[in-house]
Amino acid sequence: MSNPKALITGASAGIGKSYAQRLARRGYDLVLVARDKARLEALAGELSHDTGVNVEVLVADLTQSADVALVENKLEGDPAISFFLNNAGIATIAPQLQTPVDVIETLMYLNVTAATRLALAAGRAFTARGAGTLVNMASAVALSPERFNGVYSASKAALLALTHALTKELTEKGVRIQAVLPGATRTEIWERSGGDIDKLPPERVMDVDELVDAALKGLDMGEVITIPSLPDIQDLVDAETARQKLSPNTSRSHPAARYL
């Protein structure tokens, strides 16, 4: 029997690379997507040698619509793909009012437009097949946007909202969905955004492999939202309960009494 196959965006380093290593050990063949061909090929060779799985390399710049389409076509056209890690993204740490417009446009295209297109492509593919796993890599700042650059936080909040919106539709059709909300994680995204993670208190920074192990455990446990560092899951349950309680009263035929 052939192995299941996982497609991972942002696979050349950091969270994507760690997922690739762990999914290979779980017996998944892989499709690795990123811009850096040399890094992808080196990782593919390493994983094939160490685990014996088959690894494909798909070089794509997901800030370009045509390259997003290539990955959409792969997700929908390869029936062996049963796991999609929607991970590619960039960050910026500048104060939001000083964030350059070109940075905003690139970040929002990659983190929101491309991520949304690919999530929906995976959703279409997996519901047609009656099975599959979609993991959206969001961020804890989706819940606490005041703690980071507002543009980045907003992009991750969009991915969290998309996960909430897709949950019922996908799970009814046999598809697992999860949003992972990491806090500060030791990856290259900090240096690329102009930051220095070593300036953060060490007790706030998680190792990338620990993050991915926790996220996969959360997936195995059936969590739709996984916050790897959250000590008490009841805090998340309470927040979700409060959110759901608001829902029926957010659209009514007349204003609330206090506005009259």
Q: Please state, as a whole number, how many other Cβ atoms lie within 10 Å of the Cβ of residue 38.
A: 9
Question: What confidence score (pLDDT) does residue 124 get?
Answer: 98
pLDDT computed for residue 148 by the predictor: 83
In CATH terms, the fold of domain 5-259 is Rossmann fold (3.40.50)
* Cα 192 from Cα 148, distance rounded (Å): 16
Query: Integer distance in angstroms from the first to the last C-alpha of the chain?
Result: 67
Q: pTM for this structure?
A: 0.94
Active-site annotation holds for 152: yes
3-state DSSP assignment of residue 115: helix
Calculate the alpha carbon distances from 149 to 7, 82, 209 in Å.
Answer: 29, 34, 25
Q: pLDDT at position 210, please? A: 96
Looking at residue 193, its pLDDT comes to 62
**Per-10-residue mean pLDDT for the chain, 260 residues long?**
92 96 98 97 97 98 98 98 97 88 96 98 98 97 90 96 97 97 80 68 86 98 97 96 94 95
pLDDT in the model for residue 191 = 67
**DSSP letter assigned to residue 29:** E
pLDDT confidence of residue 1:
62
Domain ranges of the chain: 5-259
Among 70, 52, 66, 64, CA closest to 7: 70
Catalytic residue among 19, 28, 109, 152: 152
Q: Are 84 and 6 in contact (CB under 8 A)?
A: yes
